[in-house]
Amino acid sequence: MTQPPSSPPPERGLFVAFEGGDGAGKSTQVRLLVTALTAAGRSVVVTRQPGGTPLGAEIRRLVMHGGHVSPRAEALLYAADKAHHVDELIRPTLARGIDVITDRYTDSSVAYQGAGRDLGPQEIHDLLDWAVGGLFPDLTIVVDVPAAVGRARRGTVHDRIEAEGDDFHERVRAHFLDLAAAAPERYLVLDGTAAAAALHIRVLQRLRVEGVAG
């Protein structure tokens, strides 16, 4: 008996990460991009790190709203979140042909723990490369604002990371920009002080996704 031809596997979904300092405006750009992709008929899953899974939500509570966590323990907890997140959500979703848009990914740990905590960006990168099994975004969008601007936007309520001083956040900012400068083909840097609508147009122009106007 002749077997019917099997369906070809779905095309891998688009994987986009938004990075940048606290208060930069990442969440707004995530929302605008998801709206545009969905309007174009694409299936999209939106997530964040830490916190994109039940385990990640617990890790987020510990490292951002709990008591003191040593810098190395903090880095390892973030790595655990990413490893679980990729295995349980991101990689399976992409394999089904569904786009994944994440608010933060590995670069945040490299910048915050590697540069901000002074643990060594290369050491943190190597740890995260292993944790996520070499899965990196098709495009990483860095929404850049000076530390003082981010602090003003956040107001008076801060989590444990946001409460760090401007010198810490400027080290983080500088490392995001260094990462983008080293691999411009994989990054888009946006001036987060500009109008959100104008930044969104730049994102769409860079992605050039079929059916999505930019």
pLDDT tens per residue across span 98-120 = 999 999 999 999 998 988 888 99
189: left (phi > 0), else alpha (psi -120 to 50), else beta? Answer: beta
For residue 100, give the H/E element and its range.
Answer: strand 99-103
Q: What is the pLDDT of residues 2-49, one digit of tens each?
A: 555 555 667 899 999 999 988 889 999 999 999 999 999 999 999 999
Q: Supply the pLDDT for residue 166.
A: 86
